[in-house]
RNA sequence: GGCCCCAUCGACUAGCGGUUAGGUCACCGCCCUUUCAAGGCGGCGGCAGGGGUUCGAAUCCCCUUGGGGUCACCA
């Protein structure tokens, strides 16, 4: 059975890179009838963020990438949080120590820093660990360890030969063992490093395909040596390109908004974000750009992932979100999604029906759910702002306002069939262009010059509000 | 800097030896139009460079250049 996983570390906001990896791992596992696991890698106590784990798990649910096994769901291979698996790692480190595949090293951080400095000054190319304790007598090491002397455990990597990483997308990637390092696998604080913990867990959890970001490619030889030291089989390695900032560097929160929570708060739809991520380094065979997770499940092939690292383009994400808003979601669904945003803005609506009609006329005019709220305020409140340019238009047409008020008041209703001839007829009678009537009226009714069509506006606002707003506008132009 | 990966319009991509190099976003026009959008139509714009291989290279090979990643008791 195919088993994939993502192994996020709970260090901050749920990252789009995590969502990206989750997408590929989820889709690949699911289309093979396999399992998708989430394991929390919290072995760095200094960077631990207590809310992060929950938010990462929530993000996955929001996106619809539910894991089969996770800290929340549990599963046969738990626990799924590495800090709760310490005995397992210790037991495995013990095995490597006994096999002579790893060794204890008693260098202090200061000593290491000094050694690095010296190596640097000597102009050495490889700046790895000097392997001072590699051949230290094991009995002596055990004695010092038993005496409570702080130390780490390092893996004894081969000094010669080559290690070949068989990457699914790249083919064989060759590394000279001489360039490898005896990296730490167990830290002085008793926590394993990523390398050891990930390999032990992947093995114990039955992970068959390691689909992860390319930044891991160069540490894969080391991972292979950990697996070999245990005598375990390698998974299929598949390193996917890194998402990038507009300046082409690795996607980072310093340069970009990388928080999925933040996109969610702005009103980016989960479907749109997922769809957009699905077009990063991957594409549908038929070239379709708008596709659902279900459709991706049908057509996804790992082999179709390109190796060039794509730039995460906010502009296109927003466009795609707009596409979902105006073409993919049903009106009912869209109205439903907009509700929490209205609520957060403290805006209320008189009826479901009214809300739906507003959403319908606004639909082509907003790209995020938050934008709907920002641009539709005047449909829900009298406390909408009067924009500078709108005020100018209002003044331009100030003398028309009383007449418009009078005519609209006499109108039997605000239906388009009534108001359209009324307004057009009025413009004609005055010998001016329709726009000269519409614009001041628009400004009076909405405080804006960017709104849905006038007849929709009149109908949705209703006679009472239309007249009231006109009166207020007349007051306003008179006052100034 | 060492090692590793990568390279088609500004961005995302199709292409897998023979195409006028196609699509999407962005940008620019035009149309529609009461504004703003949306939509329709059109345009701008690309195979990093140099060598090979081949009857024929965006496609295969090599070099150069460029970009990225990685070199922690972080993941």
Instruction: Report pTM.
Output: 0.96
| Distance in angstroms (rounded) separating the CA atoms of residues A64 and A42 | 24
Residue A81: exposure state from Cβ atoms within 10 A (0-12, 13-18, ≥19)? middle
E strands, A7-109, in order: 35-38, 102-105
> Whose C1' is closest to the CA of A249: which nucleotide?
B68
Q: Between A434-446 and A388-396, two packed helices, what is the crossing angle to 10 degrees?
A: 130
Determine the straight-line distance between the first and last CA of chain A, rounded to whole angstroms.
Answer: 76
What pLDDT shows up at residue A226?
98
CA atom of A243 to C1′ atom of B54, Å:
37
Print burial letters for A177-213: b (CB count within 10 Å at least 16), e (below 16). Answer: eeebebbbbbbeeebbbbbbbbbbbbbebbbbbbbbb
> Whose C1' is closest to the CA of A247: which nucleotide?
B67
What are the tens digits of pLDDT across the range A176-209? 999 999 999 999 999 999 999 999 999 999 999 9
> Which regions of chain A are under pLDDT 70?
123-127, 480
Kindly provide the ipTM of the predicted complex, given to two decimals.
0.97
Report the nearest residue to nucleotide B8, CA vs C1'.
Answer: A308
Q: Give the DSSP letter of residue A347.
A: -
Tokens encoding A415: 């239906």
Could you give the angle at the alpha carbon of A3 between the alpha carbons of A183 and A81, nearest 5°? Answer: 55
| Distance in angstroms (rounded) separating the CA atoms of residues A151 and A190 | 9
Report the nearest residue to nucleotide B69, CA vs C1'.
Answer: A215
Give A222's strand partners: none
Catalytic positions of A, written as ranges = 253
| Distance in angstroms (rounded) separating the CA atoms of residues A424 and A414 | 14
Whether A43 and A195 have beta carbons less than 8 Å apart is answered as no
Tokens encoding A168: 């699914």
Whether A390 and A448 have beta carbons less than 8 Å apart is answered as yes
Q: What is the CA radius of gyration of chain A?
A: 31
Report the nearest residue to nucleotide B33, CA vs C1'.
Answer: A453
Report the nearest residue to nucleotide B68, CA vs C1'.
Answer: A249
Q: Give the DSSP letter of residue A176.
A: E
> Whose C1' is closest to the CA of A434: which nucleotide?
B34
User: What are the Cα distances from residue A349, in Å, to A330, A343, A451?
Assistant: 19, 10, 18
What pLDDT shows up at residue A78?
87
Tokens encoding A48: 């631990």
Counting Cα atoms < 13 Å in the Cβ hemisphere of A255 gives 13
Q: Chain B bases under 7 Å from protein CB? A: 1-8, 11-15, 22-26, 34-39, 67-75
CA atom of A248 to C1′ atom of B49, Å:
21
> Whose C1' is closest to the CA of A453: which nucleotide?
B34
CA dihedral A338, A366, A417, A472 (to 10 degrees): 80
CA atom of A184 to C1′ atom of B1, Å:
24
Residue A300: exposure state from Cβ atoms within 10 A (0-12, 13-18, ≥19)? buried
Could you give the angle at the alpha carbon of A467 between the alpha carbons of A462 and A471, nearest 5°? Answer: 150
CA atom of A35 to C1′ atom of B71, Å:
34
> Whose C1' is closest to the CA of A375: which nucleotide?
B36
* Percent of chain A scoring above 90 in pLDDT: 95
CA atom of A194 to C1′ atom of B5, Å:
22
Counting Cα atoms < 13 Å in the Cβ hemisphere of A371 gives 15
CA atom of A454 to C1′ atom of B33, Å:
12
| Distance in angstroms (rounded) separating the CA atoms of residues A414 and A423 | 11
CA atom of A124 to C1′ atom of B71, Å:
13
Of A320, A310, A313, A345, nearest to A270 (Cα)? A320
Whether A57 and A8 have beta carbons less than 8 Å apart is answered as no
Report the nearest residue to nucleotide B3, CA vs C1'.
Answer: A179
> Whose C1' is closest to the CA of A423: which nucleotide?
B34
Whether A74 and A35 have beta carbons less than 8 Å apart is answered as no
Q: Coil, strand, or helix at residue A185?
A: strand
């Amino acid at each position: 059975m195919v088993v994939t996983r993502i192994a996020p570390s709970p260090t901050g906001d749920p990252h789009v890179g995590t969502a990206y990896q989750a997408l590929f791992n989820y889709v690949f596992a699911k289309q093979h009838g396999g399992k998708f696991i989430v394991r929390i890698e919290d072995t760095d106590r200094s960077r631990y963020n207590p809310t992060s784990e929950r938010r990462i798990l929530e993000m996955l649910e929001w996106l619809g990438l539910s894991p089969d096994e996770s800290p929340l769901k549990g599963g046969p291979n738990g626990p799924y949080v590495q800090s709760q698996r310490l005995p397992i790692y210790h037991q495995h480190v013990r095995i490597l120590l006994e096999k002579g595949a790893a060794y204890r090293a008693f260098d202090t951080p200061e000593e290491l820093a000094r050694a690095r400095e010296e190596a640097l000054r000597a102009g050495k190319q490889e700046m790895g660990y000097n392997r001072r304790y590699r051949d230290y007598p094991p009995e002596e090491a055990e004695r010092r360890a038993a005496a409570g002397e702080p130390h780490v455990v390092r893996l004894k990597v081969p000094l010669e030969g080559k290690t070949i990483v068989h990457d699914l997308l790249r083919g064989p990637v060759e590394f000279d063992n001489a360039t490898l390092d005896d990296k730490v696998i167990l830290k002085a604080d008793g926590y394993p490093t990523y390398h050891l913990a990930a390999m032990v867990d992947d093995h114990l959890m039955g992970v068959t395909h390691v689909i992860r970001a390319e930044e891991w490619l160069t540490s894969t030889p080391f991972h292979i040596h950990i697996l070999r030291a245990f005598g375990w089989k390698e998974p299929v390695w598949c390193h996917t390109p890194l998402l990038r900032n507009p300046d082409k560097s690795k996607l980072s929160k310093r340069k970009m908004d990388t928080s999925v929570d933040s996109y969610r708060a702005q009103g980016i739809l989960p479907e749109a974000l997922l769809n957009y991520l699905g077009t990063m380094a991957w594409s549908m065979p038929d070239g379709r750009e708008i596709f659902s997770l279900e459709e991706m499940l049908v057509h996804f092939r790992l082999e179709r992932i390109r190796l060039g690292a794509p730039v995460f383009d906010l502009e296109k994400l927003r466009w795609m979100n707009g596409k979902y808003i105006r073409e993919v979601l049903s009106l009912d669904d869209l109205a439903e999604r907009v509700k929490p945003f209205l609520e957060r803005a403290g805006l209320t609506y008189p009826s479901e029906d009214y809300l739906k009609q507003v959403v319908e006329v606004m639909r082509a005019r907003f790209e995020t759910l938050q934008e709907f709220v920002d641009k539709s305020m005047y449909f829900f409140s009298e406390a909408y702002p009067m924009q500078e340019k709108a005020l100018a238009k209002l003044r331009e047409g100030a003398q028309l306002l009383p007449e418009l008020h009078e005519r609209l008041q006499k109108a039997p209703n605000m239906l388009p069939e009534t108001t359209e001839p009324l307004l057009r007829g009025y413009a004609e009678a005055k010998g001016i262009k329709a726009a000269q009537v519409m614009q001041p009226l628009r400004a009076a009714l909405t405080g804006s010059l960017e709104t849905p069509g006038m007849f929709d506006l009149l109908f949705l606002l209703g006679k009472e509000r239309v007249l009231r707003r006109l009166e207020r506008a007349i007051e306003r132009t008179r006052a100034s």
